[in-house]
A and B are shown apart, each in its own frame.
Chain A
Amino acid sequence: MFDTLLPYLLAGISVGGQYAMIAVGYTLVYGILRLINFAHGDIFTAAGFFMVYLAAAMPPALAIPLVIILTVALGFTVERVAYKPLRSAPRMSIMISAIGVSYLLQNLMWYLTGGLARQYPVLPGLGDSIQIGSASTKVVTLVTPVLTVALVVALVMLIKRTKIGMAMRAVSVDFETAQLMGIKINNVISFTFIIGSAMAAIGSLLYFTNYTAVTPTIGAMPGLKAFVAAVFGGIGSIPGAMIGALIIGICENLIKAAGLTMFSDAFTFALLIIVLLVRPTGLFGEKTTEKV
């Protein structure tokens, strides 16, 4: 029994960790802007394509940092161009803008890559096979959870201990008051997008080592799932997002083990709806009261 489930569990933890990397971006942005950044999944895809093209031209040791820098630049640009002008607009407008950006990025990637699936380069070390008990898997399966936990701890420290972290917390509690207190909210928001995009880039390195075909729309589904994970864990909470993502990753793979692969995506959304109805603040979210 355990032997047959082990590979699924391993895959679940691994993919859960990868969702966690994306979920951090959602939860940070939502915590501050109250915006579901629909384009985040496409930024994740773009990171995949950056790697495909860069790895062809230079060694991985150079390509990996460059991928992270390019992805961060993309996330930063998207925020400045598409979200910043709408700061005072109704929230619906920003969300529509996010959907528009997602549409644009997908079409742009289709145009630049010719719409064909691109093979993701094998990263030395990560892509090697290893044997765990009776299951054979890739090194990335083990690296992902460790790296995820390490990055999440680092991020929590950043937010709890540093000045910029304090500014982020202040902005997420009250936009206007934070501004009056002399916090440059535009810088804080940009910083949030930079962290989110960097995490998405690292997530894409791990994710595409497992699922090696990069297509322009491949990020949409992991993106939505990561968002569900962020809601499940309590939007705004980074450890919550990680735990939510791990639970989703594991459940999804157990459903596959049960032979219901078709429903592995549907499960995520069913979970979302249940969470929203039973406990809208998620596992670790803070209670908010509604103001008239």
Chain B
Amino acid sequence: MKKKGNLRLILSLAVVALLYGAAVLVEHTSGSKSMVVTVLQKGAVYALIAVSMNLLNGFTGLFSLGQAGFMLIGAYSYAILTIPMAKRAAVYQYYDGGIVQFTIGLLPALLVAGVMAALFAALIGMPVLRLKGDYLAIATLGFAEIIRAFVQWDAIGPLTNGSNLLKTYPTLKTAMPGNTLLFTFLVVGVCIGLILLLINSTYGRAFKAIRDDEIAAEAMGINLFRHKQMAFVISSFFAGIGGALLAMYQGSLQANGFKSAMTYEILLIVVIGGMGSVSGSILASFLFIACSEWWLRFLDAETMIGNFQVPLLAPGFRMVAFSIVIMVVVLFFRKGIMGDRELWELGSRRQAKGGGRNK
């Protein structure tokens, strides 16, 4: 068994390496501005965020809708710490150059982004995680809204630039010219790898036990609150890094971009991929972004075939068609693409059947 496991690991790593190689190749052949590269960049960022949300919603069974708030904290922490000194006066023009008068490197800033989001999560989690089910959902959603309002408050403008744009921080294009995909994929890959390790550890099994039956889990000696808190903080940590990456992808930043609609989108990605499947979330992210940014674009353009105007096609139709597809998935394919299986487990389906979840 052990040997087989090792073989599988090596194979998986080889596949990942191959994909990375392909990504680098794509970027070098088609240029950083092409649609493929954009989709892959954004898809990778969303993959990390979706996996982080899945850790909470799919693996621990905590229905949290606060993801956009933690992404916002991550994105702002990153941007505030990396705007070059020379540009501060211009960015913080209404706040005398702001109060943060130092910059740190790109990677440390990404780490700080995660840590800040995790700190906030620890604070918020203490009261909120005592709530159950949909009350937890609405309370976390509420906190995300509070964070969004707070960041734009004039009084802390010297720190966050109020409701003005944050810009000129290092973006994917400026910091990693020509290698944007390699960088994004590496960061996202490492983060998702860490989440996978966590899920397969004893903690991960405790999370799943809590998801399947809270009371039984508690009876087995799992400290409910401590494990929920842990899942919440770790998920927020990675959401923070995801937020920072999103900021790098976007090039400029404003708190109003992180509305609850963003959380809903990520939740829908998780559902499409399958609650409780990391690879499902990753696949669904790329699919979701590719569809919404690229493949369904033609639905937005008014099209003539000869003299015949194709009906319905007009700006906005893309999103309608897209949301109908999502509703079909939600209603009729409730398990999503992967259910709660992983891509690399597909081969060993027959063996695992006996020990699966009894649903």
* A interface residues (Cβ-Cβ under 8 A, vs B): 34-36, 82, 85-86, 89, 91-93, 95-97, 99-104, 106-108, 110-112, 114-115, 217, 220, 224, 227-228, 231, 262-263, 265-266, 268-270, 272-273, 276-277, 280, 292
Contacts and interface: CB of A to CB of B under 8 A. Distances in A.
Given A97-B330, A101-B327, A107 B139 contact: no
Contacts of B261: 103, 106, 217, 220
8 contacts: A36-B134, A36-B137, A36-B138, A104-B326, A224-B145, A269-B145, A272-B142, A273-B128
B135 interface: yes
A135 to B, nearest CB: 27
Contacts of A292: 215
Ranked nearest first, the 8 interchain pairs of A and B with the lowest CB-CB distance are: A269-B142, A111-B316, A104-B323, A107-B319, A266-B149, A266-B146, A100-B330, A107-B323
A268 B316 CA distance: 32
B331 A276 contact: no
Interface in B132-161: 133-135, 137-139, 141-143, 145-146, 149-150, 152-154
A96 to B, nearest CB: 5
Given A93-B334, A277-B127, A108 B264 contact: no
A103 B264 contact: yes
A292 B217 CA distance: 12
Contacts of B77: none
B268 A263 contact: no
B273 to A, nearest CB: 13
A280 B135 contact: yes
B315 interface: yes
A111 B320 contact: yes
A103 B323 contact: yes
Given A99-B264, A99-B267, A217-B261, A89 B334 contact: yes
B316 A103 contact: no
A92 B63 contact: yes
A99 B331 contact: no
B295 interface: no
A272 B139 contact: yes
B104 interface: no
A223 to B, nearest CB: 11
Contacts of A100: 268, 323, 326-327, 330
B90 interface: no
Contacts of A272: 138-139, 142
A114 B316 contact: yes
B260 interface: yes
A228 B135 CA distance: 10
Nearest to B134: A36
A273 B127 contact: yes
Contacts, number: 120
B323 A108 contact: yes
Interface in B312-334: 314-317, 319-320, 322-324, 326-327, 330-331, 334
A280 B138 CA distance: 13
Nearest to B275: A92
Nearest to A30: B134
B327 A276 contact: no
Contacts of A262: 149, 152-154
B271 interface: yes
B267 A96 contact: yes
B142 A86 contact: no
Contact of B319 (A85, A101, A110): A110
A85 B260 CA distance: 26
A276 B128 CA distance: 9
A265 B131 CA distance: 21
Q: Which of A92, A269, A280 is most buried by chain B, counting CB atoms within 10 A of its CB?
A: A269
B130 interface: yes
A114 B315 contact: yes
B246 to A, nearest CB: 19
Interface string B327-358: 10011001000000000000000000000000
Given A96-B330, A99-B268, A269-B143, 7 more contacts: A100-B268, A110-B316, A114-B316, A224-B260, A266-B146, A266-B150, A273-B142
B324 A104 contact: yes
Contacts of B260: 220, 224
Given A89-B334, A96-B330, A111-B317, A103 B145 contact: no
Contacts of A263: 149-150, 153
A273 B134 CA distance: 13
B347 to A, nearest CB: 29
B150 A102 contact: no
Contacts of B316: 107, 110-112, 114-115
Contact of B139 (A93, A96, A108, A273): A273
Contact of A276 (B131, B146, B317, B324): B131
B291 to A, nearest CB: 13
Contacts of B131: 276-277, 280
Contacts of B334: 89, 93
A241 to B, nearest CB: 15
A35 B141 CA distance: 16
B327 A224 contact: no
B149 A276 contact: no
A4 B301 CA distance: 52
Given A100-B330, A115-B316, A107 B153 contact: no
Contacts of B133: 91-92
A203 B212 CA distance: 41
A242 to B, nearest CB: 20
Contacts of A220: 260-261
Contacts of B314: 111
Contacts of A110: 316, 319
Given A82-B331, A104-B327, A265 B145 contact: yes
